[in-house]
Amino acid sequence: MTALAVERLGVDLDGVRVVDGVTLDLERGGWLGLIGPNGAGKTTLLRAVARLVPYDGSIVLDGDEVASLRRREVARRVAVVPQIPVIPPDASVLEYVVLGRTPHLGYAGSPGPGDVTTARSALARLDAAHLADRRLGSLSGGERQRAVLARAVAQDAELLLLDEPTSALDVGAQQQVLELVASLRADRGLTVLSAMHDLTHAGQYADRLVLMDGGREAASGRPHEVLTEELVARHYGAEVRVLSDAEAGIAVVPLRPRVKAEETVS
Amino acid sequence: MLRAASPRGRLPARAAGALPGISARWAVAAALFLLVSVLLGLAIGPVGLGTGRVAREVLSHVPFLGVSSPLSETEDAILWELRAPRVVLGLLVGAMLAAAGASYQGVFRNPLADPYLLGAAAGAGLGATLVIAYELGGAAGRDLRPVAAFLGAMGGVTAAYVLGRSVGGGRSTATLILAGVTVAAFLTALQTFVQQHRTDTVQEVYSWILGQLETSGWGDVVVMLPYVAVSSVVLLWHRRLLDVLAVGDDEAASLGVPVARVRLIVVAAATLGTAAAVALSGLIAFVGIIVPHAIRLLAGTSYRIVLPLSFVVGGGFLVLADLLARTVIAPAELPIGVVTAFFGAPFFAVILRTTRTVGP
């Protein structure tokens, strides 16, 4: 069943066509990775799906056009993990995760014990129950990303939008966060749409990829169809080797351009 | 996977089902501070009434306690006709300025935002200066002053808001603050021009600008009460939404909050309360910044805590400041704005140095 259907999506920002005619759809429980060079329009596409920017074309979420839904209704169905979350440093992790319950409260309603319980179980689900009473400002990058993910989980939305969820993390924390997302997807039936910089992670975690360039869809399909040396060279201007291993999955390894390599040798 | 080490000992002993609110310690401390301020404000003056006797007098009005008033008729009149209205006005003005400051800081996510940032004070200053300098309203000029200050404050904020929206689409807090600073600079220039142009009234303009709580009895309190009531209810109602805005406009919107509307409502309510306070008491600086920040440093940063405590502590703080203003160089009076800054700044410096740093 289709959770998200985007058709001929276009977004103008300050008169520039940032997303131009993108069509994609996402099955319930699927993980679609958006890849592409900086400025390709990945973040803007995510923002349009969350109804944070005006768009043309159509974005259908469980049968409803996003633009026709009230903001709170969108927030009940779509949780966003931004690339650089704004962290109020003095809030406790628990208070922060409870913010995820906002779309389920009235306009100025207060969270009740049920909301706090939901927030605590979201933290527990992300192996972060021990962080509940810590100040956000005292967390490491990986711990902070768990708190942000826990807030998204507490939001109880079926579609999770991740914008470069691992950009500021070390390799271990990156892997832990992506594994957590994969396990949430498996046991909560979450649908995931994520913009990803790291092509190896994109190939290993998403089950389908869309390569965007200049606001348009340049390629789409299963990871091994999109992550080819020609496509990466054409759209990123990067020389890479794509390795595929039955056990380790796909890996995209950057190669040092030959000219530069020779210069440094001499 | 990374199972957490035993969390035992980390979870505090409070009920698992609730978020921490105002701790009992700070609730009691704030209430005591308020009570002591009010008692001192009522008891001390040219005629000393004594805090104990004032307390007994107040209790004598509570039925079934059987407490009789120890005050003479004159003392009774001094208490209820002179001091009480002034103390109550101080409570209202202080509570309003502190709560409005906290709200502006939340809604603009700027620790330096205060009621004066958006052109409210500059507009009020211009309005009152015009009335004083050109003797508008003739004999009724004194009564016209608050009205003119009020209209000026609302006009200043409206101009800032319209300018900010036309440039930044109403989404960016920085544009709105820049627009406020622009409008304030322009209105202040106008106000200074008028003031220098009419040199014979400079003294009177200055004494209004520096702030004073001299009242004409209960009348001023009655005038101010409806504005404070409306503003307080709206601000307190929005306290949790201010916590949501702490994650930024975009994330708040993705959590289902209509950010632009919330900002407009909170700014309108805070400005309404500020305008009423400024109109009746002049420009009293600093309360809107130090009171909320002192509370953040001591009691917690969530607006569930900061807003209610700002009302209580702001009210008590201004009553104490007024007490100093009218006793330090008695029988003359210091402008209360001078007192809030003179005692407020070092007090805040101490809090700042003895606690960790905190954002809005």
- Rounded distance, CA B4 to CA A129, Å? 7
The two beta strands, A56-61 and A64-65, are antiparallel
User: pLDDT at position B232, please?
Assistant: 95
Residue B352 in this model has a pLDDT that exceeds 60: yes
Judge whether residue B35 has pLDDT over 70: yes
DSSP-assigned beta bridge partners for residue A17: A12
Per-residue model confidence (pLDDT) at position B169: 54
β-pair partners for A31: A192
The strand pairing partners of A6, in sequence order, are A24, A59
- pLDDT for A147 equals 94
CA distances A149 to B163, B183, B284, Å, are: 38, 42, 44
Taking 60 as the threshold, does the pLDDT of residue B8 lie above it? no
CA distance A210 to A195: 10
Which of A156, A71, A90 is closest to A122 using CA atoms? A156
Residue of B nearest to A93 (CA): B19
Residues whose CB is less than 8 angstroms from the CB of residue B197 and which lie 6 or more positions away in sequence, other chains included:
B133
Averaged pLDDT of chain B: 83
pLDDT at A264: 56
B164 pLDDT more than 90 = no
> Average pLDDT in the B264-282 region?
86
Q: Which two tokens stand for residue A257?
A: 């351009």
To the nearest 10 degrees (0 to 180), the angle between helices B259-281 and B120-133 is 30
| Mean pLDDT value across residues B26-50 | 89
Check if the beta carbon of residue B286 is closer than 8 Å to that of residue B341: yes
CATH code linked to domain B92-354: 1.10.3470.10
Q: What is the radius of gyration, based on Cα positions, of chain A?
A: 19
Q: Give the whole-angstrom CA distance, residue B124 versus residue B154.
A: 8
- Which tens digit of pLDDT belongs to each residue from B107-148? 888 777 777 777 888 888 898 888 888 877 666 666 777 778
Cα–Cα distance measured from residue B212 to residue B222, given in angstroms and rounded to the nearest whole number: 17
The answer to which of A205-219, B32-46, B321-335 has the lowest mean pLDDT is B321-335
Contact B254 A179 (CB under 8 A): no
Nearest to A249 by CA among A221, A210, A223, A225: A223
Residue B9, pLDDT score: 37
At B15 the pLDDT is 47
Distance of CA A112 to the CA centre of its chain: 29
Contact (Cβ atoms closer than 8 angstroms) between residue A187 and residue A218: no
Per-residue pLDDT of chain A (266 residues; tens, 9 = 90+): 789 999 999 999 988 999 999 999 999 999 999 999 999 999 999 999 999 999 999 999 999 999 999 999 999 999 999 999 999 988 999 999 999 999 999 888 889 899 999 999 999 998 899 999 999 999 998 899 999 999 999 999 999 999 998 887 888 889 989 999 999 999 888 999 999 999 999 999 999 999 999 999 999 999 999 999 999 999 999 899 999 887 778 899 998 876 555 555 54
* pLDDT at residue B303, rounded to an integer: 93
Residue B237 sits at the chain A interface (C-beta within 8 Å): yes
B278/A223: higher pLDDT: A223
Position B284 pLDDT exceeds 80: yes
Q: Which residue has the tokens 């498996």?
A: A186
B9 in reach of chain A (CB within 8 A)? no
Q: What are residue A18's phi and psi, to 5 degrees?
A: -85, -35
Residue of chain A minimizing CA distance to B236:
A108
Q: Which of A51, A97, A102 to mutate to test the interface with B (most CBs of B within 10 A)?
A: A102
Integer Cα distance of B317 and B305 in angstroms: 17
Domain count, chain A: 1
Residues whose CB falls within 8 Å of the CB of residue B158, separated by 6 or more in sequence, listed in order: none
Q: Please report the sign of the dihedral spanned by the C-alpha atoms of residue B63, residue B69, residue B73, residue B78.
A: negative
Q: Is A33 left (phi over 0), alpha (psi -120 to 50) or beta?
A: beta
> Is B17 part of the contact surface with chain A (CB cutoff 8 Å)?
yes
The two tokens of residue B332 are 């003359």
Ramachandran sector of residue A237 (left: φ over 0; alpha: ψ -120 to 50; beta: rest): left
Report yes or no: B345 at the A interface, CB cutoff 8 Å.
no
* B contacts of A73 (beta carbons < 8 Å): 256
What's the farthest any 2 CA atoms get from each other in chain A?
A: 68
Which of A73, A91, A133 minimises the CB distance to B10? A133
Residue spans per domain, chain B: 92-354
Distance of residue B163 Cα from the nearest chain A Cα, in angstroms: 19
Angle at Cα A145 formed by Cα A52 and Cα A227, nearest 5°? 75
Q: To which residue do tokens 């409502």 refer? A: B265
What is the pLDDT at residue B336?
Answer: 87
Q: Which of B71, B161, B106, B91 is nearest to B295 (CA)?
A: B106
Are B246 and A103 in contact (CB < 8 Å)?
no
B221-244 residue pLDDT tens: 888 899 899 999 999 999 999 999
pLDDT surpassing 80 at residue B100: yes
Contact of B12 with chain A, judged by CB distance below 8 Å, is answered with: yes
Cβ–Cβ < 8 Å for B236, B269: no
Give me the pLDDT at residue B3, please.
39
Provide the phi-psi class of A162: left if phi over 0, else alpha when psi is between -120 and 50, else beta.
Answer: beta
- Which residues, in sequence order, are CB contacts of A19 under 8 Å at separation 6+? A9, A10, A11, A41, A44, A45, A48, A55, A215
More confident residue, B3 or B129: B129
CATH number of domain containing A125: 3.40.50.300
**C-alpha span between B28 and B318 (Å, rounded):** 19
Q: According to the model, what pLDDT value does residue A259 have?
A: 59
Joined together, the tokens standing for residue A60 give 């259908």
Position B151 scores a pLDDT of 87
- The rounded distance, in Å, linking the Cα atoms of A108 and A89 is 23
d(C-alpha B326, C-alpha A9), whole Å? 68
For residue B356, the distance in angstroms to the closest alpha carbon of chain A comes to 10
| ipTM of model | 0.90
Half-sphere exposure of A55 (CA within 13 A, CB side): 30
Preferred mutation among A13, A51, A70, A71 to probe B, highest tally of B CBs within 10 A: A71
Task: Kindly identify which residue of chain A lies nearest to residue B356, measuring between CA atoms.
Answer: A90
B255 with A103: Cβ contact below 8 A: yes
How many Cβ pairs closer than 8 A exist between chain A and B? 101
Beta carbons within 8 Å of A103's beta carbon, 6+ residues apart: A72, A73, A75, A76, A155, B255, B256
Number of residues in chain B: 360
Distance linking the first and last C-alpha atoms of chain A: 59
Q: How far apart are the first and last CA of chain B?
A: 37
C-alpha distances out from residue B290 to B105, B173, B317, Å: 12, 22, 10
Instruction: Please give the residue range of the domain that contains residue A10.
Output: 2-265
Q: Do A109 and B240 touch (CB under 8 A)?
A: yes
Closest residue in A to B297 (Cα) is: A90
Quote the CA–CA distance of A146 and A176 in Å, as a whole number.
9
- Residue B347: per-residue pLDDT: 76
Going through B34-85 in order, the beta strands assigned E by DSSP cover none
Structure tokens at A126: 């992300």
Q: Running DSSP on this structure, what letter comes out for residue A157?
A: -
A129 CB neighbours in chain B (<8 A) are: 4, 7
Check residue A134 and report its DSSP letter. Answer: S
Q: How confident is the model at residue B1 (pLDDT cuts 50, 70, 90)?
A: very low
* Cα of A84 to nearest chain B Cα, Å: 10
Q: Looking at residue B160, what is its pLDDT? A: 86
H/E segment holding residue B139: none
CA dist B25 → A159, B20, B28 (Å) = 43, 13, 5
